Amino acid sequence: GPTALHVTLGEGGAAAVFGSRATAMSRLREVFEDARTFRANRRAFTRRDLFELSASRLDLDALGSALNRRMPVIVHAHRAADISAAIRFAKAQKIRMAIAGAAEGWMVAEALAVAKVPVIVDPFGNLPRRFESRHARTDNVALLAAAGVAIAITTDSSHNVSGLRFAAGQAARVGVPPAVALQAVTRVPATIYGVDRSYGSIARGRVANIVVWSGRAPTEPSTYARTVIIRGEIQPTESRQTKLARRYIRKLGLSTE
């Protein structure tokens, strides 16, 4: 089933409602309140005895898992003011929420920590790509972690997911403790999406997805995967790339030690 409900605030959300951030938040509150009304009056809705709601039956029904906290709401926001508004919204609606993006998260890190709202962040996102992220800074992820915010690290691109460990390494480089950086790509995202009983940590009863690295931590760029185990089965690590590497190493007379 669905893993999360995604909501876009800031410039993206405002663009969908004629450029107004206030209208976007008002619209979001309206949809959630209508979802509660729908859940409590399903029969009246079916009989057409209920006033017109702001979304379709399928959309309102899909919000049910968010309303009962089984599914997290991932709010995409960068500006500090938008993040603060999202925190207030989550508290009022009593939902599980995480902030994705959070270029200006460091400015409201204490509020995020107090509200226990985790943040999904790209440690390489250190430049203001748009007006709403003009206060972006390199150590944003470190400042969030230092304030006690649970951080999950992302590459912000499914095509670049293979570089996730390098993103974690970047977080460690700017001040995130290595153990926290590792949790940010394992336990924390699993907890955010509610699958931590099966994934995200090594323990009895968890799904056996394990990688054994050559160095002290996968966040170190020079390390490589010695053993890969997926669902309890050891996977082959031989590939065309490894064969080519050995071939040219031999040709150049280099050592792999």
| Per-residue pLDDT at 80 | 95
CA-based nearest residue to 144, from 198, 192, 223, 83? 83
| Per-residue pLDDT at 130 | 82
| Per-residue pLDDT at 255 | 63
| Per-residue pLDDT at 11 | 83
| Per-residue pLDDT at 1 | 64
Cα–Cα distance, 190 to 197 (Å, whole number): 8
Report whether pLDDT(169) > 70. yes
Residue range 23-60, pLDDT digits in tens: 888 889 999 999 999 888 888 877 777 888 878 888 88
Report whether pLDDT(65) > 60. yes
Residue range 71-115, pLDDT digits in tens: 999 999 999 999 999 999 999 999 999 999 999 999 999 999 999
φ, ψ dihedrals at 194, nearest 5°? 75, 25
Two tokens at 157? 């691109």
Using CB atoms within 10 Å of the CB of residue 194, give its burial: 0 to 12 exposed, 13 to 18 middle, 19+ buried.
Answer: middle
3-class state of residue 76 by DSSP = strand
* Global pTM exceeds 0.85: yes
